[in-house]
Structure 1
Amino acid sequence: MDISFLPDLQSLGIEGATILMFVMLLLLLLTGMPLAFVTLLVALIFALGWFGPRALPMITSRIFSFVNSFVFVSVPMFVLMAAILDRSGIARDLFDAMKVIAGRIRGGVAIQTLLVAVVLAAMSGIIGGEVVLLGLLALPQMLRLGYDKNLAIGVCCAGGALGTMVPPSIVLIIYGLTANVSIGELFTSAFVPGFMLAMFYATYILFRAYTNPALAPIADPEALSTGEKLRLLKGLFLPVLVVIFVLGSIYGGIASVTEASAIGVVGVTLSTIIRGEFSARLLLGASFQTLRTVGMIVWIGIGASALVGVFNLMGGIKFVSALIQGVSDEPIVVILFMMAILFVLGMFLDWVGIALLCMPIFVPIVKNLGYDPVWFGVVFAMNMQVSFLSPPFGPAAFYLKSVVPDDISLGDIFKSLIPFIGMQILALAILIIFPGITGR
């Protein structure tokens, strides 16, 4: 292979090559090229420019090791669960059933929305579908009842993004694969922090509702007979049963994460059959949605794995690790510096790319500093919570924008998310100060 047109990148040294790699990534991303192709192209250029044609087998071996993981099978399974949920009436009935639990408290519909978000997160761990579902089910009802627009938007967006933290979180699965730590342990450690964040949201809703009643009016009394309440509560039965089987099989040691994801798909599919909603069209649509989502994740994984592999062989990971650890002699300062890097990257990059690009560098540093990589995984997931809401490219805001009325702008959505981003940062700080919350 003639590569004479490529410069000898070794002459730059690892310092110059690292800067050039970063600049190339940034410039190519600014062109609008997808992250997966950007990372793969840069990996190819640096592999050939640093090592020559003999480096190509290294890239293919890195890609194979990424896609060959058995645990990775759980990702399409959980995505398929979410896709089937999107197309069924399970979420709608779940929302109606929560009306009985939320009752007549002020801000009840917002609390109802939050409860639905937690159950949906515990069923699939995918945020895109949850934000859209809440935007279609809950937002119109809150606006019709006279809820403050900012509060209603914030609850739908932040609640829908809880899938990042609440097991079975796809973020935690990808982190576990990248950091080579137990995904079951990650799920166990993330359980309390995920619900802690949900409680922060609930407390904020109730505080705003009771200190300023105009923000969350109580709906007109709706007398529900015992029979009607029982009929509504039936909507809770199937979703809660699926959550119990999926999480119970993982926490009980009965099934691995991969096996539990298959149980979840079977459970959700059976739910649609029992409800009389199952059809070939539903299954086909869910399958195509799964292929699109997982295809994106796999391509980003392939590109990031190739880039990190080449950068590692160049000695770049050692160089960057020394650079980060040289920030301070205090381990906590180094951790905070890494959190700041993740926070900034989260404003511009997809979380999959961040995990696959940064964790091979960050996790060894975390271990060297004496911290638990499982704890760091939960902290990373909480940091990614912020990235889902933060401007300019917060995915949750764009998901919600796709289903809200035209008079609600993207600026309105981001403005509504400021208090919720503050609560996420508070939860992140608590996790760093009190790591025992994760049980580690």
Structure 2
Amino acid sequence: MEIFGSFAQLEIGTATGLMFVLLLVLLVTGIPLAFVTLLVALIFALGWFGPMAVPLITSRVYTFVSSFVFVSVPMFVLMAAILDRSGIARDLFDAMRLVGGRLRGAIALQTIVVAVILAAMSGIIGGEVVLLGLIALPQMLRLGYDRNLAIGVVCAGGALGTMVPPSIVLIIYGLTANVSIGDLFTAAFLPGLMLAGFYAAYVLIRAWINPAVAPAVEGPSPPMSEKLRLLKGLFLPILVVIGVLGSIYGGIASVTEASAVGVLGVTLSTMIRGEFSYALMRGAALQTLQTVGMIVWIGIGASALVGVFNLMGGIDFVRDLITGISENRTIVLLFMMAILFVLGMFLDWVGIALLTMPIFVPIVIDLGYDPVWFGVVFCMNMQMSFLSPPFGPAAFYLKSVAPPEISLGDIFRALLPFIGLQALAVAVLIIAPGITGR
């Protein structure tokens, strides 16, 4: 205990540096982020305050996991898990052939549209990238699309679940920043569509400059009977989206209640399609437990660490450090964006949100910015974290289902233009915050 007791003799700046180094060293050893943050929180709680501080950690953790809105997270994850195991996404992709028609780059465009609809159904990233990797990527490669363009569209499109409501990133941010999740969903809707529009414009411009990168679809137009059959694939997904987002925006249901409506809608869809089975629901439930378990453990560790750091006076120290960068609030904001981008290259978005937002949100409010608007900017920044090397999750998700000749390096190289488009979207949100309606 003498070693622990000596921690209290440290200045807060030195203690902050020591905490950062300890986090980095433990992460390099391969220990999961959740357990690293929890261990560091325990070490510094004992070292700075003694054994009596341990109950403070448990109370902080309880506050995080007892939020009613948090119930929506497993619901939306379950929606995505059921979608993964049904044929809804495949039929949706086939139905969107009617949208592109004979337009050059039509398959890439329909992939982006399908990605938006899937994002509006569940808001989960991994499942979307894998689904599009299985459905859209082989078709684009078979039709002679440029490989880099096809890979980029699948990964970037699949990551739109971060921005398009009901985004789980927005939900976690809302819980952390203590702002209305309904307001976040409303504010993020247009920016999410704007980013999808950037992707679509990029595809069209590339196809116009070099037609070889996105060949036009050959062959006769499908007969009316085939078109009607394909249109059926749009009906159930659109109905689920209306049920989830319509109930939230219409003020009929809260986010948590709307998530339950979504699960019911997707489950009924599998029943109508004749795909409902015990094996499907069991697999979806197990996948949900695995994903939500990871989120909860990261939340527990990050909440404990931030709580201890706050009691040490560390949050005030970091706040003074960041605001001391410049008297210009835009420069301070850009500095925070740079921090988030660098962290996004190495950490999971859940950990980033829970570790940084208790520090960043009060700074943003002090600078006169709207915390809801900042939440949308944060989510747009996290878009880049899903694609950025060396640990961009979207690249690893796609690699798991991509043809063996496509290496991880190929995927990351293909994503560079799309990371640039995401950075452009962040810049547009900062320059024109009115896009969020705030």
TM-score surpassing 0.5? yes
The secondary structure found in structure 2 opposite 1:29 is helix
Normalised TM-score (structure 1)? 0.99
Q: Provide the residue aligned with 1:156 in structure 2.
A: 154
**Equivalent residue letter for 2:271:** I
Q: Provide the residue aligned with 1:284 in structure 2.
A: 282
Q: Counterparts of 2:220 and 2:350 in 1: how far apart (Å)?
A: 45
Within the candidate set 3, 11, 14, 2:12 is matched to 14
Within the candidate set 323, 326, 329, 1:328 is matched to 326
Within the candidate set 124, 130, 133, 1:132 is matched to 130
Q: Counterparts of 2:437 and 2:374 in 1: how far apart (Å)?
A: 12
The alignment's C-alpha RMSD in Å is 0.7
Q: Provide the identity percentage.
A: 78
Q: Provide the residue aligned with 2:238 in structure 1.
A: 240
The reply to whether residue 369 of structure 1 matches residue 348 of structure 2 is: no
Structure 1 residue 5, shift from structure 2 partner: 4.7
Distance 1:114 1:309, change over 3 A: same
Structure 1 residues 232-283: Cα deviation after superposition (integer angstroms, max 9, x where no partner): 0100000000001100000000000000000000000000000000000000
**Equivalent residue letter for 1:374:** V
The secondary structure found in structure 1 opposite 2:10 is helix
Question: Which runs of 4 or more aligned residues in structure 1 lie more than 6 Å from their structure 2 counterparts after TM superposition?
Answer: none
Q: Counterparts of 2:115 and 2:274 in 1: how far apart (Å)?
A: 24
Q: Is the 8 A contact 2:102 2:218 kept in 1?
A: no
Structure 1 residues 41-63: Cα deviation after superposition (integer angstroms, max 9, x where no partner): 00000000000000010000000
The reply to whether residue 390 of structure 1 matches residue 391 of structure 2 is: no
The secondary structure found in structure 1 opposite 2:96 is helix
Structure 1 residues 140-187: Cα deviation after superposition (integer angstroms, max 9, x where no partner): 000000000000000000000000000000000000000000000000
Structure 1 residue 224, shift from structure 2 partner: 1.1
**Equivalent residue letter for 2:143:** L
Q: Provide the residue aligned with 2:65 in structure 1.
A: 67
Q: Which residues of structure 2 form unaligned runs of 5+?
A: none
Within the candidate set 424, 427, 433, 2:425 is matched to 427
Q: Provide the residue aligned with 2:29 in structure 1.
A: 31
Q: Counterparts of 1:194 and 1:88 in 2: how far apart (Å)?
A: 25
Q: Is the 8 A contact 2:179 2:372 kept in 1?
A: yes
User: Which runs of structure 2 are paired with 1:151-300 in the superposition (5 Å)?
Assistant: 151-300=149-298
Q: Counterparts of 2:292 and 2:101 in 1: how far apart (Å)?
A: 39
Normalised TM-score (structure 2)? 0.99
Q: Counterparts of 1:222 and 1:117 in 2: how far apart (Å)?
A: 26
**Equivalent residue letter for 1:190:** A
The secondary structure found in structure 1 opposite 2:131 is helix
Q: Provide the residue aligned with 2:346 in structure 1.
A: 348
Q: Counterparts of 2:380 and 2:10 in 1: how far apart (Å)?
A: 37
Q: Provide the residue aligned with 2:74 in structure 1.
A: 76
Within the candidate set 105, 108, 115, 2:106 is matched to 108
Q: Provide the residue aligned with 1:118 in structure 2.
A: 116
Q: Counterparts of 1:77 and 1:52 in 2: how far apart (Å)?
A: 39
Q: Provide the residue aligned with 1:417 in structure 2.
A: 415
Q: Is the 8 A contact 2:3 2:47 kept in 1?
A: no
Structure 1 residues 196-241: Cα deviation after superposition (integer angstroms, max 9, x where no partner): 0000000000111122111111122143111110100100000000
**Equivalent residue letter for 1:426:** L
Q: Counterparts of 1:226 and 1:347 in 2: how far apart (Å)?
A: 48
Q: Counterparts of 1:87 and 1:222 in 2: how far apart (Å)?
A: 32
**Equivalent residue letter for 1:435:** P
Q: Which residues of structure 1 form unaligned runs of 5+?
A: none
Q: Is the 8 A contact 2:5 2:50 kept in 1?
A: no
Q: Counterparts of 1:287 and 1:31 in 2: how far apart (Å)?
A: 31
Within the candidate set 315, 318, 325, 1:317 is matched to 315
The secondary structure found in structure 2 opposite 1:356 is helix
Structure 1 residues 73-101: Cα deviation after superposition (integer angstroms, max 9, x where no partner): 00000000000000000000000000011
Structure 1 residues 310-349: Cα deviation after superposition (integer angstroms, max 9, x where no partner): 0000000011101100000011111000000000000000
Q: Provide the residue aligned with 1:439 in structure 2.
A: 437
Structure 1 residue 10, shift from structure 2 partner: 1.2
Within the candidate set 344, 358, 376, 2:356 is matched to 358
